[in-house]
Amino acid sequence: MTWLDALAGKALNCELPTREEALAVLASGDDELLDVVAAAFRVRRRYFGRRVKLNYLVNVKSGLCPEDCFYCSQRVGSAADVLKYTWLKTDEVIEAAEAGVAGGARRVCLVASGRGPSDRDIDRVADTISAFKARNPEVEVCACLGLLSDGQAERLAAAGTTAYNHNLNTSGGHYADICTTHEYADRVSTVSAAKAAGLSPCSGLIAGMGETDEDLVDVAFALRAMSPDSVPVNFLIPFEGTPLAGQWQLTPQRCLRILAMVRFVNPDAEVRLAGGREIHLRTLQPLALHVVNSIFLGDYLTSEGQPGAADLAMIADAGFTVEGAEGLPAAAAGPAGTALAGTGPAATAPGSSPASPSLSGSAAPHPDLVHVRRRGAGTTLPANT
């Protein structure tokens, strides 16, 4: 039995690995990479089969945030040329969310910039969620509005909200290096409050912000301790105009190891491949589906993703199926589906060209792959679904 067999065996029994085992995943060599992915796939298959859950982001309030999170294009003082707009109207939110549902999303995530919502903001969002759920009762709704005050999570739950997202982002020891306007403990408190109110807790991390392997393991273990139902794993998008512009520390291989480590530590959680996947995993995105069981469809909050049809084709070509794929294009239904025209393996983000390969183990800048979102919510252009 290899060390990966032993690690997968623990995860199959929902046993927590040791820190040394988690660190070993991150330190493994390229010759072991496919073995690491295969071991993680055994765990993923046990709990989620070959299903991929699609989530869809709607940025309901964009830019002009008073917080100084160094990674964020919407932070105070950001010079990133992203969309900026105040709260979308209810009908605008519903239109954007239903575009994602039509594209195959089982969960829509309503996200607003800011430190946290006022009670009036909660009323606004609750009314919008109630109206959306009346039209789409089978679709899950996740809210992501920042730090919550007393009673706000309960009001969101009463409106029909399924889940609340608030990422830990990094370890407690590294947090002061990426944000000074609030503390790591504030984030832990908000996730706990959401869970106590009956909302499904959704919390994850961002990799590529100068953290160490120990920081990554710390945050993965901290997430396990909070028992989130969903764990989004983001890879830093180094927007020009933010303090972390120019931070290109990740390789596709490194990203796969991080995803596998998170899967071993949180074996039965919905591990979601989130922002930055197109930029950092690039042509290895399909391999990541053997580790994660969830992705965001289409665009992100302030950046563009690859075409939604390309996501569906990628899932089908890799031999996976989309949860609730009935009524979707054939490419989304499963391995027998046919790839949609113009969305095959060579498809890239709008306006970009295929990335040149870099040497294994060597992170290379790819600023040409960072595209600011100019469509969908807050614009007059159709959404990417």
The dihedral sign for the CA sequence 164, 167, 173, 178: negative
Pair 213, 27: CB distance under 8 Å = yes
Q: Which residue reads 């927590």 in tokens? A: 16
Specify the amino acid at residue 284: L
Q: Which of 44, 106, 272, 277 is catalytic?
A: 272
Q: Is 179 a catalytic residue?
A: no
CA distance 34 to 254: 12
Nearest to 64 by CA among 74, 51, 79: 74
CA distance 16 to 213: 17
DSSP letter for each residue of 221-266:
HHHHHH--SEEEEEE----TTSTTTT-----HHHHHHHHHHHHHHS
Q: Which of 44, 72, 106, 187 is catalytic?
A: 72
CA distance 16 to 10: 7
Q: Which CATH class is domain 3-335?
A: alpha beta
Pair 82, 63: CB distance under 8 Å = yes
Q: Which residue reads 């995530």 in tokens? A: 109
Give the SS3 label for residue 213: helix
Q: Which residues pair with 169 in a beta bridge?
A: 205
CA 341, distance to chain mean position in Å, is 27
CA 150, distance to chain mean position in Å, is 27
Pair 327, 129: CB distance under 8 Å = no
Q: Which of 44, 75, 179, 202 is catalytic?
A: 202
Q: Is 72 a catalytic residue?
A: yes
Nearest to 212 by CA among 242, 244, 181, 177: 177
> What is the helix (H) or strand (E) element at residue 200, kind and residue range?
strand 200-202
Give the SS3 label for residue 1: coil
Q: Is 272 a catalytic residue?
A: yes
CA distance 385 to 366: 24
CA distance 59 to 157: 20
CA distance 178 to 182: 10
Q: Which of 44, 75, 106, 109 is catalytic?
A: 109
Q: Is 155 a catalytic residue?
A: no
The pLDDT tens digits along the chain (385 residues) read 899 999 999 999 999 999 999 999 999 999 999 999 999 999 999 999 999 999 999 999 998 899 999 999 989 988 888 889 999 999 999 999 999 999 999 999 999 999 999 999 999 999 999 999 999 999 999 999 999 999 999 999 999 999 999 999 999 999 999 999 999 999 999 999 999 999 999 999 999 999 999 999 999 999 999 999 999 999 999 999 999 999 999 999 999 999 999 999 999 999 999 999 999 999 999 999 999 999 999 999 889 999 999 999 999 999 999 998 755 655 455 554 333 333 333 344 333 334 433 434 567 788 778 877 777 888 888 888 8
* pTM: predicted TM-score of the whole model, two decimal places: 0.88
Give me the helix-helix angle, 3-12 and 252-265, nearest 10°: 50
Nearest to 260 by CA among 30, 43, 6, 29: 43
Q: Which of 44, 124, 142, 255 is catalytic?
A: 142
Q: Which two tokens stand for residue 260?
A: 């596998």
Q: Is 255 a catalytic residue?
A: no
Nearest to 165 by CA among 90, 226, 214: 226
